[in-house]
């Protein structure tokens, strides 16, 4: 990995976390005698990164070694006067126990709250995660917010290793004038709204306008455009929330523009999502053939996936459709288009200044080649009228605890192959490790790598020695602070309730969106 100049998160910038009540922190010592002398591992986050990390640890740790290991490494980087031993591991004695902590009462993270409701096949991975959660050596604890209800140092004292896999919970700001106007929101919040993310359940986007502009040209941008333009009756059999479906039924949005700073060769969406948009019922594509001039020669040397994607764009923009497709487009009442070589400069207000009425765009051109290609302004400007602006320029992670180094510029925890720099026994996986890029399969590979690094350290005797209390100690802390964790069996009760509520309307489920209602249903 190339070396980076990491920028450490300043302690003074941290908001105060919820302090434990005075005298409420129980000693971990009395738990030690009751715990097995087996590796206790904690994973923070129950999305794909968290579950894939847990899966790899549970499957691989059984066959690490067959001899006792002598350890001189400390729990918190303090020297030990005498070496300690972890017990030998073997195929007959499964070693690790993994606890997964999640701030939401429900598991699965981005699979539940990020995957579009009309992509149910992508959510099938939940079946694999459920198998992991059912393992006798794995436990899920929802409704526990690390950094508020329990700190990372407390987790590190209770476990032999801690893996941070909590994803990217924030969006990148546009940092342009007018971004704060009503009618402007992040694509992340919009996705969370129609997928039932509790923090976004009261978003109430105003879809009374004719035109929406999405700033960004990635898969999330295409998801949002597709949901805005899909006939509501096509969403009735999905797990979209009842509230979102009601708003979409009343939507007056007829045209959606997706704006990008660079050109067709630099779009970030994939061919599957593009093909869905081109074939979207009741909608027609708007592509300017001028944007594709000379592209035929340029794509000859690009990698095959990019070549196939660009060829599809090229055909859609420049070739005359067949009679059937031409008739479909002619009858379409809605439209979507890609605006290339445009960079947002300002969200324009309505005459009364009360809401967004358009976006001022700088016309750009490309400089550089290959990965160094960047958009530079030409000096020309144009205004694009609209009533809704959705920014889809990227997600970003947040720092979770002042004890954990964080690069605020890159939005990641500084690490080497998942090992958090200068913090032994602390690891990271997924988007908080590498940034918000890739698909679920990318996260799987990334998480397996982090798991492998942890197992190598365990085998080499680099993790803290001696028994650790694991969840027994954390449970005492949470109880003393009035926090009621939600177990996986609790989640399965909520799951059954959602499925039952959906049956009446022919939906696979009707998602619960209020955490307090979830806890009431569980008797918490």
273 is in an annotated binding site: yes
In contact, 502 and 510? CB cutoff 8 Å? yes
- Matching residue, tokens 């206790």: 40
In sequence order, what E strands does 350-411 have? Answer: 356-367, 374-385, 388-391, 395-396
102 is in an annotated binding site: yes
314 is in an annotated binding site: no
420 is in an annotated binding site: no
127 is in an annotated binding site: no
Closest CA to 87 of 70, 105, 108, 63: 70
131 is in an annotated binding site: no
In contact, 524 and 478? CB cutoff 8 Å? no
296 is in an annotated binding site: no
Tokens of 243: 């509230």
144 is in an annotated binding site: no
| DSSP annotation of 302 | S
In contact, 178 and 221? CB cutoff 8 Å? no
191 is in an annotated binding site: no
Closest CA to 271 of 217, 308, 218: 308
Task: Quickly list DSSP for 25-75.
Answer: ---SGGGGGGS-SS-EEEEE--SHHHHHHHHHHHHHGGGS-SS-EEE---S
49 is in an annotated binding site: yes
261 is in an annotated binding site: yes
| Alpha carbon distance 229, 438 (integer Å) | 25
8 is in an annotated binding site: no
Residue 356 backbone class (left: φ over 0; alpha: ψ -120 to 50; beta: rest): beta
| Alpha carbon distance 89, 69 (integer Å) | 10
Burial class (CB in 10 A: 0-12, 13-18, 19+), 95: buried
In contact, 173 and 354? CB cutoff 8 Å? no
Three-class DSSP category at 395? strand
Task: Quickly list DSSP for 505-519.
Answer: TT-S------HHHHH
439 is in an annotated binding site: yes
497 is in an annotated binding site: no
Distances (CA, A) of 128 to 61, 124, 346, 485: 19, 8, 45, 23
Closest CA to 111 of 96, 93, 132: 132
In contact, 280 and 328? CB cutoff 8 Å? no
- Matching residue, tokens 């207000």: 349
Cα dihedral 497→500→501→504 (10° resolution):
180
220 is in an annotated binding site: yes
Binding-site entries for FAD: 49, 102, 110, 146, 431, 438-440
Binding-site entries: 49, 102, 110, 146, 217-220, 261-262, 273, 431, 438-440
Binding-site entries for NADP(+): 217-220, 261-262, 273, 438
């Amino acid at each position: 990995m190339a070396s980076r100049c990491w920028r450490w998160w300043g302690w003074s910038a941290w908001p105060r976390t919820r302090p434990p009540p005075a005298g409420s922190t129980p000693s971990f010592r009395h738990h030690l005698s009751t715990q097995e002398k087996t590796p206790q591992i904690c994973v923070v986050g129950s999305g794909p990164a968290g579950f894939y990390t847990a899966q790899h640890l549970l499957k691989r740790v059984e066959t690490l070694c067959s001899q006792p290991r002598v350890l001189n490494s400390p729990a918190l980087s303090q020297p030990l006067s005498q070496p300690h031993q972890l017990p030998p591991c073997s195929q007959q004695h499964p070693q690790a126990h993994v606890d997964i902590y999640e701030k939401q009462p429900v598991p699965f993270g981005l699979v539940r709250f990020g995957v579009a409701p009309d992509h149910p096949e992508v959510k099938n991975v939940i079946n694999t995660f459920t198998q992991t959660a059912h393992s006798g050596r794995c436990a899920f604890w929802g409704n526990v917010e690390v950094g508020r209800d329990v700190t990372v140092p407390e987790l590190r004292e209770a476990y032999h290793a801690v893996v941070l896999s909590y994803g990217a919970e924030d969006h990148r700001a546009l940092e342009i004038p007018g971004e704060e106007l009503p009618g402007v929101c992040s694509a992340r919040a919009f996705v969370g709204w129609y997928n039932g993310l509790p923090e976004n359940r009261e978003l109430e986007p105003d879809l009374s306008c004719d035109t929406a502009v999405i700033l960004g040209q990635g898969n999330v941008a295409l998801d949002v455009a597709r949901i805005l333009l899909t006939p509501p009756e096509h969403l009735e059999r999905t797990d979209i929330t009842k509230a979102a479906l009601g708003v979409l039924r009343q939507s007056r949005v007829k045209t959606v523009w997706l704006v990008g700073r660079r050109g067709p060769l630099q779009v970030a969406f994939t061919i599957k999502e593009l093909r869905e948009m081109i074939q979207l019922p009741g909608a027609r594509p708007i592509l300017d053939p001028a944007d594709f001039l000379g592209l035929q020669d340029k794509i000859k040397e690009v990698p095959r996936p990019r070549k196939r994607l660009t060829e599809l764009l090229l055909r859609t923009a420049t070739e005359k459709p067949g009679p059937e497709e031409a008739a479909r487009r002619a009858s379409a009442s809605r439209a979507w288009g890609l605006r290339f070589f445009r960079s947002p400069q300002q969200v324009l207000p309505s005459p009364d200044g009360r809401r967004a009425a358009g976006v001022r765009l700088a016309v750009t051109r490309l400089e550089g080649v290959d990965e160094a290609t960047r958009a530079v302004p030409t000096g020309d400007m144009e205004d694009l009228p609209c009533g809704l602006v959705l920014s889809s320029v990227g997600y970003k992670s947040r720092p979770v605890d002042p004890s954990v180094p964080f690069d605020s510029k890159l939005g990641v925890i500084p690490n080497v192959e998942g090992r958090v720099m200068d913090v032994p026994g602390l690891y990271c996986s997924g988007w908080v490790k590498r940034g918000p890029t890739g698909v679920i399969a990318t996260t799987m590979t990334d998480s397996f790598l982090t798991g492998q690094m942890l197992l190598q350290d365990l085998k080499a005797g680099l993790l803290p020695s001696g028994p650790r209390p694991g969840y027994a100690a954390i449970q005492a802390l949470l109880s003393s602070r009035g926090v009621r964790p939600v177990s996986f069996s609790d989640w399965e009760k909520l799951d059954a309730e959602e499925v039952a509520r959906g049956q009446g309307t022919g939906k696979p489920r009707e998602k619960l969106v209020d955490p307090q209602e979830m806890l009431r249903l569980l008797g918490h």
